Amino acid sequence: MIYLIDYNINEAQCIINDYNPSLLRFDKHIFKNWFERGFTHEYISKCLFEKIPLGINKTSENRFKLIYPNEINRNMDLYIIIEIDDYRNIKVITAYNFNKNRRERLKER
């Protein structure tokens, strides 16, 4: 997808802060293996709109990776990949768990 606007991390954070959670969309990809991943739509929404991320990275044009603590397993982080379109709509592309040691090792460097 080609965008006219290329948001930076600060703009993405403002868009998330001002966004209406009831308008959050989920890509069809996220529904594959949903139950095995160990989190819910509600927890993803809670992370995005009520929690401060442990980290945020811009991965490509208008695509961002946000890192949150895993709801159940303290040894894991929850990575949420979102995309923001030119109309400031947010879509969750995917979400997955990852060992938090990766983030902590990077922090130590």
Condensed to tens digits (0 to 9), the pLDDT of residues 77-87 reads 999 999 999 99
User: What confidence score (pLDDT) does residue 71 get?
Assistant: 87
- DSSP string covering the chain: ---S----HHHHHHHHHH--GGG-EE-GGGGTTHHHHT--HHHHHHHHHHS--SEEEEEETTEEEEEEE-SS-TTEEEEEEEEE-TT--EEEEEEEEEEHHHHHHHHH-
- pTM for this one? 0.86
In this prediction, the residues of the chain whose per-residue pLDDT falls under 70 are 1, 32-38, 104-109
